[in-house]
Amino acid sequence: MNPYEKLLLENKAWAQEMLEEDTDYFNRLAKLQTPEFLWIGCSDSRVPADKITGTQPGEIFVHRNIANLVINTDVNLLSVLDYAVNHLKVNHVIVCGHYGCGGVKAAMTNHDFNHLLNMWLRNIKDVYRIYQQELNNIENEEARADRLVELSVKEQVMRLAKTSIIQRAWKYGKRPVLHGWVYGLKDGIIKSLFDMQPGSDMDNIYKYDDL
Protein backbone atom coordinates (compact mmCIF):
# COMPACT_ATOMS: atom_id res chain seq x y z
CA MET A 1 0.00 0.00 0.00
CA ASN A 2 1.23 3.51 -0.79
CA PRO A 3 1.65 5.66 2.32
CA TYR A 4 -0.95 8.12 1.04
CA GLU A 5 -3.49 5.32 0.62
CA LYS A 6 -3.26 4.69 4.34
CA LEU A 7 -4.48 8.26 4.91
CA LEU A 8 -7.57 7.65 2.82
CA LEU A 9 -8.30 4.39 4.64
CA GLU A 10 -7.83 6.03 8.03
CA ASN A 11 -10.18 8.79 6.93
CA LYS A 12 -12.94 6.28 6.13
CA ALA A 13 -12.47 4.60 9.50
CA TRP A 14 -12.60 7.97 11.27
CA ALA A 15 -15.76 9.10 9.47
CA GLN A 16 -17.39 5.78 10.36
CA GLU A 17 -16.37 6.14 14.00
CA MET A 18 -17.78 9.67 14.20
CA LEU A 19 -21.08 8.54 12.70
CA GLU A 20 -21.34 5.66 15.15
CA GLU A 21 -21.03 8.14 18.00
CA ASP A 22 -23.42 10.69 16.52
CA THR A 23 -25.42 10.01 13.35
CA ASP A 24 -26.02 13.74 12.82
CA TYR A 25 -22.37 14.75 13.29
CA PHE A 26 -21.47 15.70 9.71
CA ASN A 27 -24.90 17.11 8.87
CA ARG A 28 -24.61 19.50 11.75
CA LEU A 29 -21.02 20.54 11.02
CA ALA A 30 -21.69 20.99 7.31
CA LYS A 31 -24.29 23.66 8.05
CA LEU A 32 -22.30 25.91 10.34
CA GLN A 33 -18.92 26.69 11.84
CA THR A 34 -18.78 28.95 14.88
CA PRO A 35 -15.23 28.68 16.14
CA GLU A 36 -14.27 30.69 19.21
CA PHE A 37 -10.56 30.73 18.35
CA LEU A 38 -8.20 31.61 15.54
CA TRP A 39 -4.96 29.69 15.83
CA ILE A 40 -1.80 30.95 14.12
CA GLY A 41 0.75 28.19 14.50
CA CYS A 42 3.85 26.65 12.97
CA SER A 43 3.53 24.26 10.01
CA ASP A 44 5.65 21.77 11.98
CA SER A 45 3.93 18.36 11.80
CA ARG A 46 4.51 17.84 15.53
CA VAL A 47 2.29 20.76 16.53
CA PRO A 48 -1.26 19.91 15.38
CA ALA A 49 -3.52 22.67 16.72
CA ASP A 50 -6.62 20.58 17.36
CA LYS A 51 -4.89 17.56 18.89
CA ILE A 52 -2.81 19.46 21.42
CA THR A 53 -5.77 21.59 22.50
CA GLY A 54 -8.34 18.79 22.50
CA THR A 55 -10.57 20.78 20.17
CA GLN A 56 -13.03 19.19 17.76
CA PRO A 57 -13.82 20.08 14.14
CA GLY A 58 -15.69 23.38 14.14
CA GLU A 59 -14.01 24.74 17.27
CA ILE A 60 -10.78 26.27 16.01
CA PHE A 61 -9.98 28.20 12.82
CA VAL A 62 -6.40 27.53 11.79
CA HIS A 63 -3.62 29.26 9.89
CA ARG A 64 -0.15 27.73 9.90
CA ASN A 65 3.12 28.81 8.35
CA ILE A 66 6.81 28.27 9.01
CA ALA A 67 7.58 29.61 12.49
CA ASN A 68 4.08 31.10 13.00
CA LEU A 69 4.90 34.53 11.61
CA VAL A 70 2.55 37.49 11.29
CA ILE A 71 3.75 39.47 8.31
CA ASN A 72 1.89 42.60 7.38
CA THR A 73 2.17 41.97 3.64
CA ASP A 74 1.06 38.33 3.83
CA VAL A 75 -2.28 38.34 2.00
CA ASN A 76 -2.95 34.77 3.09
CA LEU A 77 -2.57 35.43 6.81
CA LEU A 78 -4.39 38.76 6.65
CA SER A 79 -7.32 37.20 4.78
CA VAL A 80 -7.57 34.49 7.42
CA LEU A 81 -7.40 37.12 10.17
CA ASP A 82 -10.02 39.33 8.49
CA TYR A 83 -12.39 36.42 7.93
CA ALA A 84 -11.95 35.03 11.44
CA VAL A 85 -12.38 38.38 13.17
CA ASN A 86 -15.06 40.00 11.01
CA HIS A 87 -17.14 37.07 9.79
CA LEU A 88 -16.61 34.22 12.24
CA LYS A 89 -16.32 36.77 15.06
CA VAL A 90 -13.73 34.83 17.05
CA ASN A 91 -13.11 36.07 20.56
CA HIS A 92 -9.52 34.87 20.81
CA VAL A 93 -6.56 34.92 18.43
CA ILE A 94 -3.72 32.67 19.52
CA VAL A 95 -0.19 32.79 18.16
CA CYS A 96 1.40 29.52 19.23
CA GLY A 97 5.11 28.95 18.68
CA HIS A 98 7.02 25.92 19.84
CA TYR A 99 10.38 25.21 21.41
CA GLY A 100 12.81 23.52 19.03
CA CYS A 101 11.31 25.36 16.04
CA GLY A 102 13.36 24.56 12.92
CA GLY A 103 12.48 27.90 11.34
CA VAL A 104 13.77 29.83 14.33
CA LYS A 105 16.94 27.72 14.52
CA ALA A 106 17.58 28.24 10.79
CA ALA A 107 17.16 32.00 11.18
CA MET A 108 19.85 31.98 13.87
CA THR A 109 22.46 30.67 11.45
CA ASN A 110 24.28 32.61 8.76
CA HIS A 111 23.46 29.97 6.18
CA ASP A 112 22.04 30.90 2.78
CA PHE A 113 18.75 28.99 2.37
CA ASN A 114 18.15 30.54 -1.05
CA HIS A 115 15.96 33.43 -1.88
CA LEU A 116 12.45 32.52 -0.72
CA LEU A 117 13.36 30.95 2.60
CA ASN A 118 15.88 33.71 3.26
CA MET A 119 13.10 36.22 2.73
CA TRP A 120 10.83 34.42 5.20
CA LEU A 121 13.50 33.82 7.83
CA ARG A 122 14.60 37.47 7.68
CA ASN A 123 11.51 38.26 9.75
CA ILE A 124 12.91 36.15 12.60
CA LYS A 125 16.36 37.69 12.22
CA ASP A 126 14.71 41.08 12.63
CA VAL A 127 13.26 39.91 15.95
CA TYR A 128 16.72 38.69 16.98
CA ARG A 129 18.16 42.11 16.21
CA ILE A 130 15.64 43.85 18.48
CA TYR A 131 16.49 41.58 21.42
CA GLN A 132 20.13 40.85 20.54
CA GLN A 133 21.51 42.11 23.82
CA GLU A 134 19.43 39.69 25.86
CA LEU A 135 19.89 36.83 23.38
CA ASN A 136 23.65 37.20 22.99
CA ASN A 137 24.01 36.87 26.76
CA ILE A 138 22.52 33.36 26.69
CA GLU A 139 25.45 31.02 26.18
CA ASN A 140 23.63 27.75 25.67
CA GLU A 141 22.55 27.62 22.04
CA GLU A 142 19.35 25.66 22.66
CA ALA A 143 18.32 27.99 25.46
CA ARG A 144 19.02 30.98 23.21
CA ALA A 145 16.87 29.48 20.44
CA ASP A 146 14.07 28.77 22.93
CA ARG A 147 14.17 32.35 24.17
CA LEU A 148 14.04 33.61 20.58
CA VAL A 149 10.95 31.41 20.06
CA GLU A 150 9.28 33.20 23.01
CA LEU A 151 10.35 36.68 21.91
CA SER A 152 9.21 36.02 18.37
CA VAL A 153 5.77 34.92 19.57
CA LYS A 154 5.51 38.14 21.54
CA GLU A 155 6.48 40.17 18.46
CA GLN A 156 3.93 38.35 16.29
CA VAL A 157 1.17 39.11 18.81
CA MET A 158 2.18 42.77 18.78
CA ARG A 159 2.15 42.71 14.99
CA LEU A 160 -1.45 41.49 15.09
CA ALA A 161 -2.33 44.47 17.29
CA LYS A 162 -0.76 46.80 14.73
CA THR A 163 -3.24 45.76 12.02
CA SER A 164 -6.31 47.87 11.36
CA ILE A 165 -8.30 44.59 11.39
CA ILE A 166 -7.58 44.10 15.10
CA GLN A 167 -7.74 47.78 16.04
CA ARG A 168 -11.15 48.16 14.39
CA ALA A 169 -12.48 45.03 16.13
CA TRP A 170 -11.13 46.30 19.45
CA LYS A 171 -12.81 49.65 18.94
CA TYR A 172 -16.24 48.44 17.83
CA GLY A 173 -16.47 44.92 19.25
CA LYS A 174 -14.22 44.94 22.33
CA ARG A 175 -12.65 41.71 21.06
CA PRO A 176 -10.62 39.61 20.32
CA VAL A 177 -8.11 38.94 23.05
CA LEU A 178 -4.68 38.21 21.56
CA HIS A 179 -2.63 35.41 23.12
CA GLY A 180 1.03 34.41 22.79
CA TRP A 181 1.67 30.76 23.63
CA VAL A 182 4.59 28.36 23.29
CA TYR A 183 4.25 24.59 22.97
CA GLY A 184 6.89 22.24 24.34
CA LEU A 185 7.74 19.39 21.97
CA LYS A 186 9.42 17.56 24.86
CA ASP A 187 6.51 17.60 27.32
CA GLY A 188 3.45 18.42 25.20
CA ILE A 189 2.59 21.37 27.44
CA ILE A 190 1.52 24.79 26.20
CA LYS A 191 2.87 27.74 28.14
CA SER A 192 0.91 31.00 28.10
CA LEU A 193 3.42 33.84 27.69
CA PHE A 194 1.73 37.05 26.80
CA ASP A 195 -1.79 38.46 26.34
CA MET A 196 -3.09 41.64 24.78
CA GLN A 197 -6.57 42.67 25.88
CA PRO A 198 -8.82 44.70 23.55
CA GLY A 199 -7.70 48.32 23.64
CA SER A 200 -4.15 47.53 24.79
CA ASP A 201 -1.69 50.32 24.32
CA MET A 202 1.07 50.27 21.71
CA ASP A 203 3.61 52.64 20.20
CA ASN A 204 1.76 55.70 18.97
CA ILE A 205 2.95 55.42 15.39
CA TYR A 206 0.96 52.17 14.91
CA LYS A 207 -2.37 53.53 16.17
CA TYR A 208 -5.12 54.35 13.66
CA ASP A 209 -7.07 57.31 14.94
CA ASP A 210 -9.73 57.47 12.22
CA LEU A 211 -11.07 53.89 12.12
- The footprint of Zn ion (CB under 5 A) covers 42, 44, 101, 103
Q: How far is CA 30 from CA 19, 24, 25, 90, in A?
A: 14, 10, 9, 19
Which C-beta is closer to Zn ion: that of 103 or that of 176? 103
Q: Which is nearer to Zn ion, 42 or 135 (CB)?
A: 42
Cα–Cα distance measured from residue 51 to residue 188, given in angstroms and rounded to the nearest whole number: 11
Q: What is the closest distance, in whole angstroms, from the C-beta atom of residue 46 to Zn ion in the complex?
A: 8
Indicate the residue among 148 and 169 with the shorter CB distance to Zn ion: 148
Q: Is there a catalytic annotation at residue 44?
A: yes
Q: How far is the CB of 40 from Zn ion (least distance, A)?
A: 12
Beta carbon nearer to Zn ion, 63 or 176: 63
Told to judge if 96 belongs to the known catalytic residues of this protein, a careful annotator would answer: no
Indicate which residue of 22, 24, 28, 42 is catalytic.
Answer: 42
Q: How far apart are CA 65 and CA 117, in angstroms?
A: 12
**Is 98 an annotated catalytic residue?**
yes
CA atoms of 60 and 56, how far apart (whole Å): 8
Closest by CA to 95, choosing from 135, 127, 118, 58, is 127
Of 28, 46, 111, 122, catalytic: 46
Angle at 32 between CA 30 and CA 33, to 5 degrees: 105
Compute the least distance from the CB of residue 44 to Zn ion, in Å. Answer: 4
Selecting among 44, 96, 147, 179, the annotated active-site residue is 44
Q: How many other C-beta atoms are found inside a 10 Å radius of the C-beta of residue 138?
A: 14
Closest approach, Cβ 43 to Zn ion, in A, equals: 7
Query: What's the CA gap between 99 and 210, in Å, rounded?
Result: 39
Catalytic residue among 63, 96, 98, 159: 98
Active-site annotation, residues: 42, 44, 46, 98, 101
